[in-house]
Structure 1
């Protein structure tokens, strides 16, 4: 028994001896590495313009065209429809028998005179600039022109 233990111990010692030579030799430290960094500015990219639709053209207003004055259509010669309330005097006639003038008498109104002689009141006012207040006021003895060719 003594021998078996001695042998086993010798074998273990030999194995340990043999294995001790198998360890790696220490690796020397690598030499220091020097790193040089160079900083270069990153170029700013030039933006590509986004295509945009062209703005619509400004509307061009047409040149103003002045209106021609409205034509003044004067009705034909006065036509006497006869005496009536508000226009009862006798008119003065020209050589052709057409009423030429009318003299206001009591109770007459400018509107009734225009109606009697079939003339628009505005035309009769244009023919008689001496009448004021749009014909609202006429006086006994006023002479009203009924001849549209002799206005003013």
Structure 2
């Protein structure tokens, strides 16, 4: 190979490298300028018919700032496995209503002490935002609604349960009440 041919090949390689880098930079710029996909209103959730163990999947709903949830107590493993006030080995979550949010604008139902115990879904509500509104984990909300819902979407007018003591008596989905069971080893708090 001649020196001229070698120089020519080097220039072509440099051009290709520059072109590749340019395409990469362009892709980054275009990706940054592309708006995120619109959130799904009725996001499909994993079914819990076999077990209340939740498989987490990436949510299509916007990330919601949990805001002033300071009054809520973090969930932790129970120290005494025989303690009846638990949900599957974890301490109970006590909902705190932060008030209506963009995709959680339904009506909260409160008990005599003012604690939210149920929620009536409004059009456009998203499960993750409802959980954030009440300062509870989305997985916890799915579990306390497991017995009476199939968790495959939200419908305006649905009643979501927010109280671990009423798992078998509060909640519905699109006017239907499911009859899902929990595994025998899954500890539930006393039911009312």
TM-score (norm 2): 0.39
TM-score (norm 1): 0.48
Quick check: which has more Rg, 1 or 2? Answer: 1
- Report 1 or 2 for greater relative contact order, CA contacts < 8 Å, sequence distance ≥ 6: 2
